[in-house]
């Protein structure tokens, strides 16, 4: 499995503000969206384009367009929806589904409660969204669901990843590329990423 960690100075700058516990809900939400856009740009570096003919104010020319219909964005509820806006600004006609999972606080394993995916996933590139790749349980379970629905080309986008989560995805889904803006030190004894940024869902939605 390939892991792509973005290291652009602007990303490091925005990530610093995102991590700061003094950063408020509005700014936190905006930063998640911005960082998600950066991740989307990187994840689509290998996008296939089709040649088209257009007419500029000066002349006709051949150029290239993305077939946006071939993409499906699948945020893991609820925090993953905070990343969605950053991606649909870039690929506004992509199909969107949702995967509802929550973590059992005792076992740290994911529990599934909702799943709705676009049709014909086998013909689309599927991009899974979750700000934090912690234990990797939710991500692995979400990707398993997508493969069962026919998805063949899958990428996983997160803001911060823990080594433990990367290792789990490598073991369960070695064909899925991971894109992140930081690989942090470790998980603590209750499954949170350290140094991390706390609970991404709570900070996106202002629920704590």
According to the model, what pLDDT value does residue 102 have? 74
According to the model, what pLDDT value does residue 46 have? 94
Tally the domains of the chain.
1
Q: Which residues of 143-159 are buried (b: 16+ CB within 10 A; e: fewer)?
A: bebbbebebeebbbbbb
According to the model, what pLDDT value does residue 190 have? 87
Burial of 52 (0-12, 13-18, 19+ CB in 10 A): exposed
Residues known to be catalytic: 103, 107, 199, 202
- Spatial contact of 71 and 90, defined as CB atoms under 8 Å apart: no
According to the model, what pLDDT value does residue 42 have? 96
According to the model, what pLDDT value does residue 97 have? 96
| pLDDT less than 50: residues of the chain | none
Q: How many Cα neighbours within 13 Å face the side chain of 174?
A: 1
According to the model, what pLDDT value does residue 1 have? 64
- The CA-atom distances, in angstroms, between 89 and each of 32, 53, 85, 116 are 13, 24, 6, 22
According to the model, what pLDDT value does residue 197 have? 95
According to the model, what pLDDT value does residue 153 have? 97
According to the model, what pLDDT value does residue 104 have? 77
Residue-number span of the structural domain to which 106 is assigned: 3-205
Average of per-residue pLDDT values in the chain: 94
Using CA atoms, how far apart are residues 48 and 26, in angstroms rounded to an integer? Answer: 35
Using CA atoms, how far apart are residues 34 and 36, in angstroms rounded to an integer? Answer: 5
In the structure encoding, which two tokens stand for residue 191, read together? 């499954």
Partners of residue 114 on adjacent β-strands = 100
**Element holding 183 (H helix, E strand):** strand 182-183
According to the model, what pLDDT value does residue 9 have? 96
Q: What is the CATH number of the domain that holds 187?
A: 3.40.50.2020
DSSP state of 134: S
């Amino acid at each position: 499995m390939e892991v792509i960690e973005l290291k652009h100075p602007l990303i490091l700058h925005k990530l610093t503000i995102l991590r700061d516990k003094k950063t408020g809900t509005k700014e936190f939400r905006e930063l998640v969206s911005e960082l998600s856009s950066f991740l989307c740009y990187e994840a689509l570096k290998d996008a296939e384009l089709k040649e088209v003919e257009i007419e500029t104010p000066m002349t006709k020319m051949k150029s290239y367009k993305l077939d946006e219909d071939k993409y499906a964005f699948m945020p893991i509820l609820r925090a993953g929806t905070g990343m969605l806006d950053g991606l649909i600004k870039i690929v506004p006609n992509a199909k969107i589904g949702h995967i509802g999972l929550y973590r059992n606080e005792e076992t740290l394993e994911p529990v599934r409660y909702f799943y709705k995916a676009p049709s014909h996933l086998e013909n689309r590139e599927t991009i899974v969204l979750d700000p934090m790749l912690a234990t990797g349980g939710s991500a692995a379970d979400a990707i398993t669901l997508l493969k069962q629905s026919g998805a063949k080309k899958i990428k996983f986008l997160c803001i911060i990843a823990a080594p433990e989560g990367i290792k789990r995805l490598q073991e369960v889904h070695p064909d899925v590329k991971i894109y992140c803006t930081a690989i942090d030190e470790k998980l603590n004894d209750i499954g949170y990423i350290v140094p991390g940024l706390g609970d991404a869902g709570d900070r996106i939605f202002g629920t704590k």
